[in-house]
Structure 1
Amino acid sequence: MMRHLSDSLFLPLIVIQLLGTVTSQVNPGVCRYALGMSSRQISDEDISASSQWSESTAARYGRLDGEEGDGAWCPEITGEPDHLKEFLQIDLRSLHFITLVGTQGRHAGGMGNEFAQMYKIKYSRDGSRWISWRNRQGKQVIEGNRNTYDIALRDMQPPIIARLVRFMPVIDHSMNVCMRVELYGCEWLDGLVSYNAPAGQQMNLPAYPVYLNDSVYDGAVIYSMTEGLGQLTDGVCGEDDFTLSHVHNGWPGYDYVGWNNDSFPGGSVEIMFEFDRIRNFTSMKVHCNNMFSRHVKAFQQVVCHFRSDSDWETTPLAFSPVEDEKNPSARFITVKLANHMASAIKCQFYFADAWMLFSEITFQSDTAMYNTTPPSTPKPEDDPTHKVDDSNTRILIGCLVAIIFILVAIIVIILWRQVWQKMLEKASRRILDDELTASLSIQSETFSYNHTSNRPGTAGEQESNSTYERIFPLGPDYQEPSRLICKLPEFPQNSEEPASAASAASKSTTQTVVQDGAPHYAEADIVNLQGVTGGNTYAIPAVTMDLLSGKDVVVEEFPRKLLTFKEKLGEGQFGEVHLCEAEGMQEFINEDYLFDVPEGQPVLVAVKMLRSDANKNARNDFLKEIKIMSRLKDPNIIRLLAVCIYSDPLCMITEYMENGDLNQFLSRHEPEGQLALLSNASTVSFGDLCYMATQIASGMKYLSSLNFVHRDLATRNCLVGKNYTIKIADFGMSRNLYSGDYYRIQGRAVLPIRWMSWESILLGKFTTASDVWAYAVTLWEILNFCKEQPYSQLTDEQVIENTGEFFRDQKRQIYLPQPVLCPDSLYKIMLNCWRRNAKERPSFQELHRALLDLQP
């Protein structure tokens, strides 16, 4: 029902967005409209190419989803190897903010067999200066298509601001290439074509440096930035704490461009903005950081000069915002520009403290009526009709208002129908609720699944409790009582509040015997280790807990003074994780552990530290985790080395691998091949990828043999050492770097839904079989070199909806696609791990054996 409602709301929201863009900055999450290749709004005359194979593969046939001519644009085949001179060019006739591109190969009704596996993009704002697009990590090459028919959508991070765009296929002569393309975005209403400013500087904090440079600036950067656009126009506003970043893989300070007062004798930073034509400016919005505890404040005053033709106006405009020393939040400051006519604006921003940090600057203006000629391009056929017509604008606004009123009436009718339908559904829903005998206990505004399953299980598939809101309610689509009874767990009629890890451990261990005689642990017999980060890292049957923790702790107390802080890896509800160097660690561990570090050299370790104000339950859980971790001895599991528990704060010291986590490690590398040679990038072979995946399967085989359920298996939770050694850890949830991988439910529960099985999301069931599901997603990450988040084209809500398709089992669920490097045999293994029936998924023992067989 909500999905139908959201569909009905979508169009008026677009209309409202169109009316509001003049007064708000560009939102990359909304600015994603097709710009006209598929719909033919872009005319044939605005599509050109460097060459063509034949008249039937000319540039005009390079439209996404088009099948005219021979089905695509195909460049002429030349004898030059590895060249990047061929291109398909699109003229958008005006500046646009481009956030997404799509490509296809030549399908031609099944007759085509040509597509571009890789390509680059160049763009221009004026037709004379061409810029090579690079992602936020500095890489130019974009992954293209895997077949001739699927559309490959790729986010432009950072976005492109351009009038002309060129798609340049990477041709290596292993196959012919053809392309069909589309651009997605919206019109660039700011009209800004460049800003010139001093280069951003580095802030040296006691713990680490903060880089405040404009890392995506597309102009020249030496001592100053000239003739380009960058992070001040990418649509991403910085956090209140400038050391954090909205951008995946962004370093401290990434979202901001900043300057230090000591470097500017005049006490101000000058930024000059140049526009596509003379405009009537109403305001400028500057997003500033105001973290005064770090000596960062918004600007004290700004003085702006305006140039309409060749001369600057003699009377500048000055504006002073109200100084705020109470609220450290970042904010937009609006500067009224009083309808000045200009094609360039030069502003001096005066310091209010030691540092001044900006993340976005946007302009609101109306185009001047007497200067409407579009900028020149290399094409002679400029559109003479591209002019501002005030009467047409008024007619358009009137039509849009009328459409809004009509749509509001439609929405009212839809809502009335849905309310009536909801009343009819209540009676049938009561039948379902009675048959399920489900009762939900409310705790901290979340729904707690506290149940004993009536389905048989094995010792290696022990269930665990999960306390979070039912995020995918059983709506009308699921009202099939006879079918649901055999799929949903039976809830006890008198549900109690879920036991904490401490109380669960103290309960006696009992087993419930189901009809087929297979043992199954009751929910009270599952111990959830809370963990320092606030997430349930492991779920362990109480019988295993008793067996492992009944002995004395065999780890030594380590002197805190021998720990040297290096970096804060992450934090959670109950504590923090720090990267440290430990001196003399070799003397404090068992003889069976071998360090790959010369004696006398400090050892890199991770220190999980409990907050001194943590409650009693958290302290008990922390000590239980120490007992359990002290018993885990496997070459592919991070090992507990020592503890600091004689005084607060409580600490456990674990291994840390020199190459960091697997996600970051692989994202810095490329697969072996011609492309890596072109970019001179570090490579990892397919055999090494298989070797790493085999080690993860081995470590999980060990955990599953102890009935441990990890719950958060992913590349971010695997650490890399020398010679591609892999060890499984649990730091991912606590790291801000990976906050985008977790979905927050009603403010408390944080779930890695893109790695979770359908039954974990919908039913709160975490088993070894759900870890197997996550392992296949982890394998998918590895084979894609962690360049893409799983289901990257789906929103979090769409990922959850997709789990509903697994529940319905009507063959409409979406699977992760087969990676380019993945052989069919390995992808079949991954699909087996994603089977709907958890019992049909392979065990980690079987996965480990299969991966060993695949190694070269």
Structure 2
Amino acid sequence: SLQRFWMLLIYFLLIYDSHNMSVCRYPLGMSGGQIQDEDISASSQWSESTAARYGRLDFEEGDGAWCPEITVEPDNLKEFLQIDLRSLYFITLVGTQGRHAGGIGNEFAQMYKIKYSRDGSRWISWRNRQGKQVIEGNRNAYDIVLKDLEPPIIARFVRFMPVTDHSMNVCMRVELYGCEWLDGLVSYNAPVGGQMKLPGFPVYVNDSVYDGAVIHSMTEGLGQLTDGVCGLDDFIHSHVYNVWPGYDYVGWSNESFPGGYVEIMFEFDRTRNFTSMKIHCNNMFSWHVKVFRQVVCYFRSESDWEPSPLFFSPVVDEKNPSARFVTVNLANHMASAIKCQFYFADAWMLFSEITFQSDTAMYNTTLAPPKTGLPPNTQPGQWRPTLCRGRHCKPARRDWQQHVRHPCADHGPATNQWTIIDTPGLLHCVPASSSTAASKSTTTSVGQDGVPHYAEADIVNLQGVTGSNTYAIPALTMDLLSGKDVAVEEFPRKLLTFKEKLGEGQFGEVHLCEAEGMQEFINKEFLFDIPEDQLVLVAVKMLRSDANKNARNDFLKEIKIMSRLKDPNIIRLLAVCIYSDPLCMITEYMENGDLNQFLSRHEPEGQLALLSNAPTVSNLCYMAAQIASGMKYLSSLNFVHRDLATRNCLVGKNYTIKIADFGMSRNLYSGDYYRIQGRAVLPIRWMSWESILLGKFTTASDVWAFGVTLWEILNFCKEQPYSQLTDEQVIENTGEFFRDQKRQIYLPQPVLCPDSLYKVMLGCWRRNTKERPSFQEIHRALLE
């Protein structure tokens, strides 16, 4: 059932933790055979039967291992076993084994070192966080010894180099564990970190694991900004590495930079289409450490830098000292290098992680792990797609159950015998045998506003051409609509002029076009204040010629539905092109674009806006009230939007706001969606707990999303919701809402948000759906 699918999904997603390297610890193919023989080489071999290809962990082929030609001497690192992974990987763990050969062999490496390379020419010696190179190996010929790489390495080529304290014969079998490095980042160049002199002790915020050249600056390397570890809120303390205060962060002092900024250049493996950059920043303003005031980024595509930079200013926060991720929208710039100037907001600026989202990272949705194939003993269906918000691919395996806390865990250890059942206003854990009968009695409930809240089973979902569910509509409403003719006219295609592609999905595309003579085709009851001789900006949804029959039928149903929506705050369907292929629907497009982009370009009225010469906007409540009004209209029709967010609201003249539905089709917002192969694309940071956990989409879940949208507006869309949490942590927080043990995390009160508005938000995020306000109540509160 759909409910069980969502439960299965939540189990898969809850196992991951961004601060735990177990998210990236999968064998890369030595033991499983996915790494080919030709990609395994060695400095020498004792015989053909101990060649490099026999150095696979837990294999007994040949004479049982790789053995070098000569005896390994102390401090003689000429012998090595080398693996070529064919592309960059984030490697967190290594395994070694000696030569057993069914009791005949007894050679093993008691110690070894690792060297690695990203390009095959510059080799780097791995060191642990205390600077030690030698790794303790095996004590016999048969046991497998696993060693964490702390810090992890980013490499294509890896060499295992046996080390001894006396002359001896050694043989090795090895495995690498990790996941593909989809950031594509091969180096960052930055000034060397500084030393803070706090009362009583110094705090060193230098990049102590940087693997490039370090003189006056750091060049051609990677280090703590890419090691997968986010610093704590209090930068003085560190994760458990037995290191000095400030270790997790790289930091710089304003006094050392006369220009008022720190410049960091990022080099990538090839030209990429960049969606966003996320910087994990400290914000302990009591120690004069703050998030950067502004960042200016330049992009190099081929050999030249683009003349026009990108500007971004995060929201200033002097209330919450927590460290957080700041997301910078890179607006789909094509680049092989990015140079960013981070401007100080106070005496110090501390970063612990910087990640990038690009076309490769966001659209790799194969069912098998990249290049090296499946891990051993894993069937193709056991993998979910490589999912990289940042750097780590996160394949899921059948052994996920042992890592997961089932929401019904408190009811006993046999969690597979319990199922979550939703009854109006409450969830129960019931024995699985009774779940079917229980669910049949709870398909609908009546919300506080008197509008039925329909369970998934009662809803007709139309898969929009761009991949989004246009609206979720009760089957009864759909039946009433299906008998009516389309209430819009056919529009001549020749009068449409293409301007730009706004986005695309599985079955179609969305284009921004200019329409000539549109005024003649619009229903007379629709107020249209554009002169007849003026071109009209429109969005054209177009169905691809290769779309299947179901997609075509859905497209025509979507036209019928859209033609019935008549509200000042809902995007209107203006005309169609359905007499010939490709099928098109033509909707309004507002001249100021979407609300997310509009607000991110503006600043609140005040001193900062005057200094930056940025445009200002002050009537945020008016904007939010219009969205509430549009949603009030949709809820009156029992329509569930399912993807309410600022990216899906358009801005017109005089701050007019209209709700749309094609934000998901735009690459610009791909980072806002959690992608799952063969299933929905989920805007989890805007979704209610019951939508994620149970697959229930109702007016009440739209209310939850409105609360998040209101939070975006009051932050001027400068920050993604829950920016300090990974996708997996967001979903894990969903489980806390279900368990309701007061451990759930709420979005914080924005700096510009009065208490009365934050109270509205918190009301939208109440656990019990019946306790959330209706859109009518929200609209009234915002008008007041």
TM-score, normalised by the number of residues in structure 2: 0.56
Q: 2:497 is paired with a residue of what secondary structure?
A: strand
Distance 2:18 2:573 in 1: 52
Name the structure 2 match of 1:81: none
Q: Given the superposition, is the C-alpha separation of residues 725 and 737 from structure 1 closer, same or farther in structure 2, using an over 3 Å criterion? A: same
Distance 1:836 1:6 in 2: 27
Q: Report the residue type matching 2:475 in the other structure.
A: A
Distance 2:295 2:533 in 1: 51
Distance 1:494 1:739 in 2: 38
Q: Given the superposition, is the C-alpha separation of residues 769 and 135 from structure 1 closer, same or farther in structure 2, using an over 3 Å criterion? A: farther
Name the structure 2 match of 1:55: none
Name the structure 2 match of 1:628: 561
Q: 1:624 is paired with a residue of what secondary structure?
A: helix
Q: Report the residue type matching 1:16 in the other structure.
A: L
1:42 is aligned, of 189, 201, 204, to 204
Name the structure 1 match of 2:284: 104
**Which is worse superposed, 522-531 or 566-575?**
522-531
Name the structure 1 match of 2:149: 16
Identity of aligned residues (%): 64
Displacement of 1:494 after TM fit? 13
Distance 2:574 2:404 in 1: 61
2:682 is aligned, of 737, 751, 763, to 751
List alignment gaps of at least 5 residues for structure 2: 1-13, 26-91, 94-127, 129-147, 158-180, 207-232, 238-252, 267-278, 298-306, 331-336, 364-370, 372-397
Displacement of 1:20 after TM fit? 3.8
Does 1:484 find its partner at 2:429? yes
Name the structure 2 match of 1:573: 506
Displacement of 1:769 after TM fit? 0.6
Q: 2:778 is paired with a residue of what secondary structure?
A: helix
Name the structure 2 match of 1:555: 488
Q: Is the 8 A contact 1:712 1:730 kept in 2?
A: yes
C-alpha distance after superposition, 1:297-320 (max 9, x if no partner) = xxxxxxxxxxxxxxxxxxxxxxxx
1:697-846 equivalences under 5 Å are 697-846=628-777
Displacement of 1:167 after TM fit? 3.9
Q: Report the residue type matching 2:464 in the other structure.
A: G
1:196-595 equivalences under 5 Å are 239=359, 432-434=415-417, 436=419, 455-456=423-424, 483-485=428-430, 492=436, 524-595=457-528
Name the structure 2 match of 1:306: none
Distance 1:454 1:564 in 2: 50
Distance 2:18 2:296 in 1: 40
Displacement of 1:3 after TM fit? 5.2
Distance 2:752 2:659 in 1: 23
Name the structure 2 match of 1:689: 620
Distance 2:400 2:674 in 1: 32
Distance 1:482 1:557 in 2: 49
C-alpha distance after superposition, 1:806-837 (max 9, x if no partner) = 11111111111111111111011101111111
Please give the root-mean-square deviation of Cα atoms over the aligned residues, in Å: 5.1
1:189-200 equivalences under 5 Å are none
Name the structure 2 match of 1:639: 572
Displacement of 1:763 after TM fit? 0.7
Distance 2:513 2:525 in 1: 23
Distance 1:426 1:693 in 2: 40
Q: Is the 8 A contact 1:579 1:607 kept in 2?
A: yes
Name the structure 1 match of 2:613: 680
Displacement of 1:573 after TM fit? 1.2
Q: 2:598 is paired with a residue of what secondary structure?
A: helix
Q: Report the residue type matching 1:676 in the other structure.
A: A
Q: Is the 8 A contact 1:456 1:518 kept in 2?
A: no
Equivalenced residue count is: 515
Q: Given the superposition, is the C-alpha separation of residues 825 and 4 from structure 1 closer, same or farther in structure 2, using an over 3 Å criterion? A: closer
Distance 2:670 2:577 in 1: 29
Q: Given the superposition, is the C-alpha separation of residues 165 and 674 from structure 1 closer, same or farther in structure 2, using an over 3 Å criterion? A: closer
List alignment gaps of at least 5 residues for structure 1: 45-62, 68-85, 108-113, 124-133, 170-178, 186-233, 248-330, 332-414, 439-452, 458-480, 497-509
Q: Given the superposition, is the C-alpha separation of residues 661 and 41 from structure 1 closer, same or farther in structure 2, using an over 3 Å criterion? A: same
C-alpha distance after superposition, 1:274-326 (max 9, x if no partner) = xxxxxxxxxxxxxxxxxxxxxxxxxxxxxxxxxxxxxxxxxxxxxxxxxxxxx
Name the structure 2 match of 1:671: 604
C-alpha distance after superposition, 1:517-542 (max 9, x if no partner) = 99775755421122212332211112
Does 1:7 find its partner at 2:20? yes
TM-score, normalised by the number of residues in structure 1: 0.52
Distance 2:778 2:433 in 1: 28
Q: Is the 8 A contact 2:465 2:509 kept in 1?
A: yes
Displacement of 1:456 after TM fit? 3.7
Does 1:609 find its partner at 2:542? yes
Q: Is the 8 A contact 1:689 1:783 kept in 2?
A: yes
C-alpha distance after superposition, 1:616-648 (max 9, x if no partner) = 222221111111111110000001111111111
Q: Report the residue type matching 2:285 in the other structure.
A: G
Displacement of 1:427 after TM fit? 14
C-alpha distance after superposition, 1:88-121 (max 9, x if no partner) = 5499xx99989543231228xxxxxx98797468
Q: 2:204 is paired with a residue of what secondary structure?
A: coil
1:654 is aligned, of 579, 584, 587, to 587
C-alpha distance after superposition, 1:367-412 (max 9, x if no partner) = xxxxxxxxxxxxxxxxxxxxxxxxxxxxxxxxxxxxxxxxxxxxxx
Displacement of 1:726 after TM fit? 0.6
Name the structure 1 match of 2:310: 137
Distance 1:152 1:6 in 2: 14
Does 1:184 find its partner at 2:352? yes
Q: 1:683 is paired with a residue of what secondary structure?
A: coil
Distance 1:421 1:104 in 2: 33
Q: Given the superposition, is the C-alpha separation of residues 818 and 574 from structure 1 closer, same or farther in structure 2, using an over 3 Å criterion? A: same
1:146 is aligned, of 292, 296, 318, to 318
Q: Is the 8 A contact 1:102 1:182 kept in 2?
A: yes
Q: Report the residue type matching 1:720 in the other structure.
A: V
Q: Report the residue type matching 1:565 in the other structure.
A: F
Q: 2:514 is paired with a residue of what secondary structure?
A: strand
Q: Given the superposition, is the C-alpha separation of residues 708 and 628 from structure 1 closer, same or farther in structure 2, using an over 3 Å criterion? A: same
